[in-house]
Structure 1
Amino acid sequence: MKTKTNYLFGLLTSLCLLTGCDDKFDEINTNKVDPTTLAPSFVMNKAIIDATYLDGFGTLQMLCYEFGIVQQIITPYGSSLAGANYNQNNVSNTPLVWQNFYRNVLKQIVDVVDKTKDDPNRTNLYNMARIWKAYSFMILTDTYGDIPYTEAAKGYISEITSPKYDSQQAIYADLLKELDEASAGLDATKTVESTDILYGGNIAKWKRFGYSLMLRAGMRLTKVDPATARTYVTKAVTGGVMQSNDDNAVMRHTALYNNWIANHLQAREKTNFYLAAPFVNYLKANNDPRLRSIAVRYVGAKGGPEQVAARASTDPSVQVGMPMGYDNVTVSTPAVLAQYGVASLWDFSQVNLNTVLKLDAPEFHVTHAQTQLLLAEAAQRGWTTGTVADYFTKGVRANLEQMAAYDPSAAIPEAAIQAYLTAHPLDPAKALEQINTQYWVASFLNGPELFANFRRSGFPALTKNPYPASEITEDFIRRMPYPDSETVVNQQNVNEAITRQGGNTLSTRVWWDKK
């Protein structure tokens, strides 16, 4: 064996001497299927996809905080699921929006902006990326307040590893400028990015998305800077906002690429989250046809294994929302169960996993319904032309029609839509409350927007969660604290932001959330 090995070694050595061992060496050792760069259009798609999170655990900030704060979905369980249900700071879940958007979404989209800003052939991609960047930063600053903005996501591009925090006031000023310039800069006569996952490169739809997002951003300032709010509302209307549900900014899913909220609730957390009583009661009291599309109750279930199809009912009359202020022990006492007419905590209504939260259910970022309702409020404030009642009715109708996008079984018949609209006209004396309460319903499952508009508008007029071990000083949670990891790696800038904004607590208000 040794003789054979020496012979082979000698033969190879001789061949090297004759032919040269480096002949085509680079070609042979280059991996032709491992890319060293990516087309910025694909990177942008990754930024859009990542905005709906990378796994089910990423959705726990929505499930444990945002949905609970606005009292639409609640869990009675503590430990890893504690949050708005107990009005407590769960440091495992409050950083999830921060982590996902900075580590994933913004890392991608800032790179796209940087790579396309000086390319005259990619001006549409550049402006699309600026719009998505603005959308992403809005979610972050609305959630946490002052955040890294001008220096954010530039660790690779500019070697900035400890970015400064910008004030939310400064951030919003730049976001509005960016949306104004980017929306106006889109041009269908120039290169169209047909691989775009959001609108397939449709420039007209991207423009409407950009201007609708500008309308949303402008309306955030109603309490702190109404003059600027009015200016950008006017710009948005002039530019052209969404005209129908076909313009909705929506992430579509498949059986292979799941809706991660649905994925999490269909697996690990299937028996842990329930529709909250204030939401169910509002829909029931108003004979809202959306309740049949949204809710299911496993009537009489006394445990998770009894939540079976044979018990499932979508009949609005039998739906029972879980009351606020309880944990899994106190909500299971005989007195409470008798009060609500349920057999156990597993007998309360849940989100229907076969309709609005089936695995391939879409997720909506900005919608025609939301846009029309914001226009209704703007018209009520005298900031735009048009009839308040007309905008209101169009907004409610759009969301009722939007239910069909989840599943054919969730579609609301035209007769039911018309009956609901006839029964619920706008009352001018209660216009702001009605408009923003409908916005609450129309934004169901859009956690960041639910949380933001509730704080901005003060509607719906919810009752404080009465859980006795609350850690907040106000009636409702006002923001998410900065992650502990930020204090470790960026302490000086974090402390500066806290000094400017207020304590790093659930009770500190962000700049636009003025009392």
Structure 2
Amino acid sequence: MKFKYITTIIISGTLLLSATSCKKTLEDINKNPNGSEAAQPDYLLTGVSKAVADTYWGTANNMDAGLLWIQNWSKIQYTDPDRYIYTSTSFNELWSTGYSKGIVNLNSLIKIADAQANPNYKGVALVLRSWIFQLLADNYGDVPYSQAADIKQYLTPAYDKQKDVYYGILDDLKSAQTFLNASGPAITGDIIYGNKILSWKKFANSLRLRIALRIADREPEKARQVIADIQAEGSGYISSNAETAQLVYSTSPNQNPISNLFDTRDDYRISKTIVDKLFALNDPRLPVYASKTADATPQTYVGLPNGLLVGDASGYGFTKTSKPGTYFLAPTAPAVIVSYAETLFDQAEAAQRTLSTAGTAADLYKQAITAALSQYGIATADINTYLAQSSVAYDAANYRKSIGEQKWIALFGQGLESFAEWRRLDYPQLTPAVAGTLGGKFPLRFIYPGTEQSLNGASYKAAVASQGADALTTKLWFDVN
């Protein structure tokens, strides 16, 4: 849904970010006698959606991490992130925004929904909260979940194991379906689906499918049961590009974060890895994903290798390498959360792995590619030509390669989701950064914010003891292969 202006009014919440002394005294004293202490649910919903979408699509997590690690983008200036060089504060934003602006405020929205007898607000809040917890678990591993509902009671919450977080999310999404009712009370403030409850029901099921596959290598029977429950529930999945879960931005001050950054900076280029792949497949999305070089070059679109030293990167030439495509640099470019194409790829994999009895893998795979190309207005004739190539044809004997490579292309721009799926499917097979600092290895997770060691030390140490070293290269529970 497009919007012209958002007043982000959200309850101030701090989880794991503030000291506990004098907390109740300050809360009691620092009250504005002229200000309302009752948050409005529509403002909460709008504010949370915007804040989390900005973080999900923004610099710290997307442009300086996910998009570099899965080699959609590369850096031509200030190349440390492309070489896997980070500090203890590099990954604070997803954590702080996810909890203090996301989870805390959605928990408040759930309480308001109960008080106002409006279950649709509660259902929507559960769906958004589940997505945020999924992002946190996907990227950090073990995170606070069961004690994250009440920051007054749990100022230093324990970390739940990644498996338990995913299981909890699946339960929450199943519950969300019981609250979401198109015939129930109306909601307002929804900048993702324009207050359409049926779309939220499909979004919930699509997230359930995503997470079922996230756990499928570890817990295939649980994944199978989740998918069976979805099919029995009957609302279906996102079923067209028009139903994609996304936040469509507007002009300043509410433009896409990528557009905002490129207004003043010139740090990024499209990665040579994906440019080479698109050329090899004669992929019609190349001029969508990449801009033409400013100076004429033999190939017109030129990618930059990932992880170069600063001098080597700039030596390729700012005007002789391609920025990301103008589609992604536009102020109104959407922050995609779950696309129609992704849902079809997920259904194809579920069918291939006999986790689902709906459809055939090869047919769903073709539908997924068609949806992915149609998303950018690619003509039907060009889509058919693309699908007819042997290099694109579905290989049931190596479905991870077929689905993994095409899904990686389709998820272009969605750095965090693409990073999770690359770890899970192990395709495409990438080469680490040229001048990477991890001994020829890739990052496999975010490191915890440095504040966790000082403000929630006991819980932090317990999580590290359980999960493994708080290092970029520590493999998470769902990442089996």
TM-score by length of 2: 0.87
Q: Where does the alignment leave 5 or more consecutive residues of structure 2 unmatched?
A: 1-31
**What is the rounded CA distance, in whole Å, between the counterparts of 2:101 and 2:292 in structure 1?**
37
Q: CA deviation at 1:192?
A: 2.1
Q: Which residue of 2 aligns with 1:380?
A: 352
Q: Which residue of 2 aligns with 1:427?
A: 395
User: Percent of aligned pairs with the same residue?
Assistant: 27
SS in 2 for 1:148: coil
Q: Which residue of 2 aligns with 1:482?
A: 448
2:466 corresponds to 1:500: yes
Given that 2:74 and 2:307 are in contact with CA atoms closer than 8 Å, whether structure 1 keeps it comes out as no
The residue type paired with residue 457 of structure 1 is L
Greater C-alpha radius of gyration: 1
Q: Which residue of 2 aligns with 1:407?
A: none
Q: Which residue of 1 aligns with 2:372?
A: 399
**What is the rounded CA distance, in whole Å, between the counterparts of 2:55 and 2:173 in structure 1?**
27
Q: Which residue of 1 aligns with 2:42?
A: 41
Alignment RMSD: 2.2
Q: CA deviation at 1:177?
A: 0.8
Q: CA deviation at 1:86?
A: 0.9
Matches within 5 A, 1:258-407: 258-267=255-264, 269=265, 271-300=266-295, 317-332=299-314, 337=316, 344-352=317-325, 354-385=326-357, 386-403=359-376
Given that 2:308 and 2:433 are in contact with CA atoms closer than 8 Å, whether structure 1 keeps it comes out as no
Matches within 5 A, 1:83-482: 83=81, 85-117=82-114, 119=116, 121-152=117-148, 154-155=150-151, 158-239=152-233, 240-256=236-252, 257-267=254-264, 269=265, 271-300=266-295, 317-332=299-314, 337=316, 344-352=317-325, 354-385=326-357, 386-403=359-376, 411-423=377-389, 424-467=392-435, 470=437, 472=438, 475-482=441-448
Given that 1:211 and 1:237 are in contact with CA atoms closer than 8 Å, whether structure 2 keeps it comes out as no
Q: CA deviation at 1:111?
A: 1.3
Q: CA deviation at 1:118?
A: 5.4
**What is the rounded CA distance, in whole Å, between the counterparts of 1:380 and 1:473 in structure 2?**
36
SS in 1 for 2:175: helix
Given that 2:76 and 2:314 are in contact with CA atoms closer than 8 Å, whether structure 1 keeps it comes out as no
Q: Which residue of 1 aligns with 2:28?
A: none
Q: CA deviation at 1:207?
A: 0.7
SS in 1 for 2:421: helix
User: Residues 91-124 of structure 1, C-alpha deviation per residue, up to 9 Å, x if partnerless?
Assistant: 34222211221221222212112332455x3111
Higher relative contact order structure (alpha carbons within 8 Å, sequence separation ≥ 6): 2
Q: CA deviation at 1:474?
A: 6.7
Q: CA deviation at 1:151?
A: 1.7
Q: Count how many residue pairs are aligned between Structure 1 and Structure 2.
A: 444
Given that 2:122 and 2:179 are in contact with CA atoms closer than 8 Å, whether structure 1 keeps it comes out as no
**What is the rounded CA distance, in whole Å, between the counterparts of 1:106 and 1:384 in structure 2?**
32
Stretches (4+) displaced over 6 A: none
Q: CA deviation at 1:53?
A: 2.3
SS in 1 for 2:420: helix
Given that 1:474 and 1:507 are in contact with CA atoms closer than 8 Å, whether structure 2 keeps it comes out as no
**What is the rounded CA distance, in whole Å, between the counterparts of 2:189 and 2:467 in structure 1?**
41
Given that 2:290 and 2:324 are in contact with CA atoms closer than 8 Å, whether structure 1 keeps it comes out as yes
Query: Does the C-alpha gap of structure 1 residues 460 and 170 become closer, same or farther in structure 2, counting only changes over 3 Å?
Result: same
Q: CA deviation at 1:184?
A: 3.7
The residue type paired with residue 175 of structure 1 is I
SS in 1 for 2:441: coil
SS in 1 for 2:292: strand
Q: CA deviation at 1:173?
A: 1.1
The residue type paired with residue 140 of structure 2 is Y
Given that 1:130 and 1:178 are in contact with CA atoms closer than 8 Å, whether structure 2 keeps it comes out as yes
Q: CA deviation at 1:153?
A: 5.6
**What is the rounded CA distance, in whole Å, between the counterparts of 1:376 and 1:418 in structure 2?**
19
SS in 2 for 1:147: coil
Q: Which has the higher mean CA deviation after the structures are superposed, 222-231 or 207-216?
A: 222-231
Q: Which residue of 1 aligns with 2:9?
A: none
